[in-house]
Amino acid sequence: WWASFSIVLILGFLLGGAVVAKNSDIPFFKALTGDSKIQSVEASQSKDSSAATASYQPMNVADMVEKAGPAVVNVESQIKVSSGVDPYMNDPFFRDFFGNNFSQPQSRYETGIGTGFLISSDGYIITNQHVIDGADKITVQVPNKKSKLTAKVIGQDSELDLAVLKIDGSGYPTLSLGNSDKMRVGDGVVAIGEPYGLDHTVTTGVVSAKGRPVTIENRNYKNLIQTDAAINPGNSGGPLLNMSGQVIGINTAVNAQAQGIGFAIPINTVNDVLSQLMSGSKIVRPYMGVQMTDINQDVISQLNLAADTTGVLVVKVLPGTPAAKAGLTEGDIIKKIDDKTMTESTEVQNYIESKKVGQRISLQVQRNGNQAGLLLTLA
């Protein structure tokens, strides 16, 4: 946790050749320390987040912050750690002299800070999973509340780096969820968070790019929004707002080696799994059940393929999986999925993960020099 990263999390998909079944330690910046459940995403948006479907109406930044700020909360996580026993206490002489109590390991709490935001008036909060990962105690400071409130984790997913917390009470201010797909490069954005523990810090910028893949330790983000709005440790889990005050991203990471480069998880990614997180369910992800590899010159030589062969080579088909049931076999070369050309295994994986369990896809494969078409139902 104390190492320097080329990309520092304010804060996983493990990219590889396999697309297999996957149903899905205090915060990275611990050194900087300082019931009604909503049954569906649609319900949450129609009630407390009703503005999600409202027309896009740009606001003055100061007015926006005044309106949105009360729904942005500080998230503090604590993890209990034990200090080791001094090696001298292994010596009977020292134990006799100082007594056994002196040798007992001491416990202490390490604290990490982050940000979150309220999405329902009865206390549901979205933040990053790494903000609360491994925490023994989580407290939330709501603006205009004198004391901190204890929060419990309702749902979390480490691969998406998302978590939903719940605090007791009602009548909380909320933020509405926008549509990150409608954001264009160059659109203005506003970040609100708790960088370095500084309460409700506001920064502005634009959407610099979309769909950025970023790898941070064991987390592989595939579709982040890049922004030049200043994001610093402690901002993690806070909202990235459009100029209408709607959440279009969750601030997640910064580039430690360059100024003006921050990243946020698109809010549409959150919308896809929010109902599952709020119900405490594991995120169910579609899969094919194959191991794959890219076709390069080594593969072409080993398999004696034509020099211009492209596609993704199926190395192994796991028994009983959708791929096996569809008739995919080892040695097949995936050329297209739903008429989309595939040249890398990551393209196949990303495409499958964009689908839902139960959806049917069509595969065009090359088998022993011939073309074949298969239908596969994702599970």
Distance, in Å, from the CA atom of 300 to the CA atom of 294, rounded to the nearest integer, reads 10
Confirm if 165 and 125 have CB atoms less than 8 A apart: yes
Is 50 exceeded by the pLDDT of residue 43? Answer: no
Give the model confidence (pLDDT) of 57-75 as tens digits: 677 999 999 999 999 999 9
Share of the chain above pLDDT 90, in %: 63
Has 200 been annotated as catalytic?
no
CATH annotation of 7-278: 2.40.10.120
Average pLDDT on 250-259 reads 75
Catalytic option among 44, 180, 236, 275: 236
Asked whether the predicted pLDDT for residue 360 surpasses 60, the reply is yes
Please report, for the chain, the start and end positions of each structural domain, with discontinuous segments joined by +: 7-278, 290-377
Residue 39 confidence class, pLDDT cut points 50, 70, 90: very low
Neighbours of 348 (CB within 10 A): 23
Q: Which of 120, 130, 208, 345 is catalytic?
A: 130
For 125-131, what is the mean pLDDT?
97
- pLDDT for position 215: 83
Give the position of tokens 């409130």. 149
More confident residue, 257 or 309: 309
Give the least confident one: 41-45, 270-274, 287-291: 41-45
Per-residue pLDDT at 141 exceeds 80:
yes
> To the nearest whole number, what is the mean pLDDT of the chain?
83
**Cα–Cα distance for residue pair 313/295, rounded to 1 Å:** 6
On the question of pLDDT at 49 being above 70, the answer is: no
pTM, whole model, 2 decimals?
0.72
Give the separation between CA 65 and CA 238, rounded to whole angstroms: 13
The domain at 290-377 falls in which architecture? Answer: Roll (2.30)
pLDDT of residue 14: 34
Specify the higher pLDDT residue, 77 or 89. Answer: 77
User: Which residue out of 48, 133, 161, 332 is catalytically annotated?
Assistant: 161
Mean pLDDT of 137-149: 95
Q: For 302-348, what is each residue's pLDDT tens digit?
A: 999 999 999 999 999 999 999 999 999 999 999 999 999 999 998 99
Structure tokens at 85: 């026993």
Mean pLDDT, range 255-264, rounded to an integer:
75
DSSP secondary structure letters along 161-221 = TEEEEEES-S------B--GGG--TT-EEEEEE-GGG-TTEEEEEEEEEEEEEEEETTEEE
Burial of 36 (C-beta count, 10 Å sphere; 0-12/13-18/19+): exposed
